[in-house]
Structure 1
C-alpha cells in the first residue's frame, strides 16, 4: 500500500510539534530526554527538526512524559491554523 503524500498542513504540524518539543526540553540534553523517553537520540532529533512530521503517538507521549509537558499542550501548539489566527 502506497502512503499518500503529506499535505502542507501535516508538514507544518510536524514542524510546529518539533519546535514545541525543543522549546519544552529547554536546557536538558537530547541524550537525557531520549533516554528518559526510551527512544534513540536520532529519533528525537528528527522529530524536533520536523523531519518526522507524523511521529507515532506513543513516541510523542513518551517524549512529553520525559519533559513533563501535557499532550494537550503539544496538540494546541502544533495546530497550523494558530499561525493565521
Structure 2
C-alpha cells in the first residue's frame, strides 16, 4: 500500500520518543509533528534526520484503514493499547 494523499495520520497519531529536528524530546501522540506540511506530507521524508520510527512505519491496510479518519482512529487506539479490536 502506498501512503494516502493528504493523510498524515502517522505524523499526528503516533508518539515519537526519539529526537526530531526542532523537537528534541520527540512528540506525544495526537500532536502533529512540526514537519507535517499543510498538505499532510512529511517535509523531512527524504532526510537523514527523519527518525527511525518514522522510517520504519509502512502504510498497511490494517493500520491505515480506508480513510484518513480511520487511520487516525486505528493508530490512536494502538497507541492507547486498545488492541482488542484487532485480535
Q: Check whether TM > 0.5.
A: no
Relative CO higher for 1 or 2, CA cutoff 8 Å, sep ≥ 6? 1
Give the TM-score normalised by structure 2.
0.36
TM-score, normalised on structure 1? Answer: 0.37
Please state which structure has a larger fraction of its residues in helix: 1
